[in-house]
A and B are shown apart, each in its own frame.
Chain A
Amino acid sequence: MLRVEHLSKTYPNGTRALTDVSFEVADGEFLVVIGLSGSGKSTLLRCINRLIDPTEGKIFWDNIDITAATPADLRHIRRNIGMVFQQFNLVKRSSVMTNVLSGRLGYANPWLSLLGIWPDEDKKRAIKALERVGIADKAYNRADALSGGQQQRVGIARALMQEPKLILADEPVASLDPVLSHSILQYLEQLNKEGITVICSLHFLDLVHRYATRVIALKDGIKVFEGSAREIDRAKFKEIYGEEAQEVRATAL
């Protein structure tokens, strides 16, 4: 269980990204975070694995205080939290295999991994992860030779290497064609059904309805809504996104 308490983040340049955000995520939930660009979604997700250090507030995971973890503890905590990014964040020149294996760095022998030596077990695990996302045949291609949808699947395979208990997905489909959105989110949904908690930021209302077990909404860094996906109708959506917002439908499959 993840518990976020009175979380605030002010960047050194004075931008106030989060203000007093509190919520809880039970194990096995698919929590969707919605809000305009700049509303603090990315900052919130990055505070959870401390890619960004919050200014105030605490985050507990299974009663461990993430915000107070030492660097060594933090690495152990991060191993259990997979992350999927809007821009995939793959090393484009490296092979798909290397990208996937790098998800295992938190577990690997530090010295052998620096030399690029991986145990067979990890290589098998990587192939299996790629099989799960249906691109095992691309294992030895360069990452930038793959399409956007395929690259995001490599991103998911990399997160799977961590054997995560939690996956943070920062707008995982925002850089993809709408038609690909479902294929990516279905992988996340499948992992969620296998017991991995997912916290995912999304933009499209119909995707929110389809995948979220619960939703929180941010506006200017403040939590303005928390509830089930069904409670978010057009009116609520307009309230969160502002009057001018026009909902764009992701094409249904």
Chain B
Amino acid sequence: MTRNALIIAGLVVVYLASYRVTQIDFVKLISEAPKAQTIVRAFLTPDLFVRDFETTTIRVPFPIPCGSAPEADIVSSGPRLVPSVKCAAEKDKFTLEGFSLAPNADIVVRWHFPDDRVLTAARTQTDDKGHFSVAVDAKPIAKSINGVPSQLEVDTNTAVGGWKASQSLKDVMQEIFVTIFMALLSTSAATIIAAPLSFLAASNITKRGVFGAAVYYVTRSFFNLIRSYDPLVMATVFGFWLGFGTFPGVLALTVVTIASLGKLFSEAVENIDTGPIEALTATGSNRLQTVIYSVIPQIVPDFVSYIIYHWDINVRISTIIGFVGGGGIGFYLSQRINGFEYNKAGTAIWAIVIVVWAMDFLSAEVRKRLT
């Protein structure tokens, strides 16, 4: 009883201490939530496609007073300005609406006098649909001269040509493939090294006699030793060694993957059915033949499954490695975040999400087929 009470008391102390050192602050978590909005919104609206724009000026003639000049024709489509009245007397007020202009843009409405002088009439903004509505005074200065009316005009950007991939989408596409290839290369290199080593680290194959046991323990310890270093530490080491870039990233991934695959492979080798080994040894086949005919068929599906799984894992890790200068999409992402270009960062984040999801799906499908 007292022992259980002591254990519980001990656990309470440990959790209280961890609560304090991690400075948990739920109040702040809720109250500061709006700050997250900006960045989340930017991430959710990635920079994907752009169009080229051209600034054009849209005008509508407006006779002051009425009858002093021909009235404007009614236009009902395209970027256009529509006054609430077709003409007005001096000092009258009317409403000017604009349609199909650039959305969410600042708008300056100007009077363009018959003598080509210009005067600002109003300032406003267009809404999501490129529409605005603003009150305008029919100023005496804007009256028609010799049958020529003043015009109301706005500048707007209009799209030219179709949508095309933005520069950041192009960059992200390139970097994501760099990342996939980094993961592919490091996984392949690690497989080539880990597969033979794994047999040395499998107790049922190697651990025979003093020499065998020594080889077994040395290989095991080697795997455990390099496994205890995080990929980030490895990437930093290789980064200092070779300068930052994709090559040190690949090397860091390879080393980490050798340890991880080596351990998984050796466990797969240890879990095989030893019956066939015994049977083939009894037929008088040599050791290599026995391994090829009884061990290999049993481990190939496991090995392939682990390799694909690690490719998938390495795509994710290489993203993180990029943050410490390992190249690929992670490096691009860290650069954009450091430069406050959150929409571009959003493009990278979406690309990572899609690729990780696809790799996960692919590796699950392939592994399902390997039984």
Q: Considering residues B273, B284, B294, which has the most beta carbons from chain A within 10 angstroms of its beta carbon?
A: B284
Residues of A within 8 A of B293 (CB): 91, 94, 98, 102, 105, 113
* CB atoms of B275 and A114 under 8 A apart: no
Asked if A93 meets B283 with Cβ closer than 8 Å, knowing A85-B275, A87-B275, A114-B288, the reply is no
* CB atoms of A105 and B279 under 8 A apart: no
A37 close to B (CB within 8 Å): no
Asked if A75 meets B288 with Cβ closer than 8 Å, knowing A87-B275, A91-B276, the reply is no
* CB atoms of A113 and B281 under 8 A apart: no
> Interface size of B by Cβ–Cβ distance < 8 Å?
22
* CB atoms of A93 and B298 under 8 A apart: yes
Residues of A within 8 A of B278 (CB): 51, 85, 89
CA distance A158 to B278 in the complex (A): 13
* CB atoms of B284 and A76 under 8 A apart: yes
* CB atoms of A94 and B297 under 8 A apart: yes
B280 to chain A, nearest CB (A): 6
> Interface size of A by Cβ–Cβ distance < 8 Å?
37
Residues of A within 8 A of B282 (CB): 49, 51, 78, 81-83, 168
Interface residues of A in 61-82 (CB under 8 A from B): 74-79, 81-82
* CB atoms of B279 and A162 under 8 A apart: no
CA distance A99 to B286 in the complex (A): 16
B237 to chain A, nearest CB (A): 39
A28 close to B (CB within 8 Å): no
A30 close to B (CB within 8 Å): no
Interface residues of A in 132-183 (CB under 8 A from B): 155, 158-159, 161-162, 168
A238 close to B (CB within 8 Å): no
Asked if A114 meets B289 with Cβ closer than 8 Å, knowing A78-B282, A88-B275, the reply is yes
B221 close to A (CB within 8 Å): no
B301 close to A (CB within 8 Å): yes
* CB atoms of B275 and A89 under 8 A apart: yes
- Closest B-chain residue to A115, C-beta based? B292
- Closest A-chain residue to B290, C-beta based? A105
A47 to chain B, nearest CB (A): 12
CA distance A128 to B216 in the complex (A): 43
B3 to chain A, nearest CB (A): 36
Q: Considering residues A79, A91, A107, A162, which has the most beta carbons from chain B within 10 angstroms of its beta carbon?
A: A91
A103 close to B (CB within 8 Å): yes
A45 to chain B, nearest CB (A): 10
Q: Give 8 A-B contacts (CB < 8 Å), ordered by A residue.
A: A85-B275, A91-B293, A93-B297, A102-B285, A105-B286, A106-B285, A159-B283, A161-B283
A-B pairs, top 9 by smallest CB distance, nearest first, are: A106-B284, A105-B285, A89-B275, A78-B284, A79-B284, A89-B279, A83-B282, A75-B284, A91-B276
User: Which chain B residues have a beta carbon within 8 Å of chain A's beta carbons?
Assistant: 273, 275-276, 278-286, 288-290, 292-294, 297-298, 300-301
Given contacts A79-B283, A162-B283, 17 further A-B contacts (CB under 8 A): A75-B286, A76-B284, A83-B282, A85-B275, A87-B275, A89-B279, A91-B298, A92-B273, A93-B298, A93-B300, A93-B301, A102-B285, A102-B294, A105-B293, A161-B283, A162-B284, A168-B282
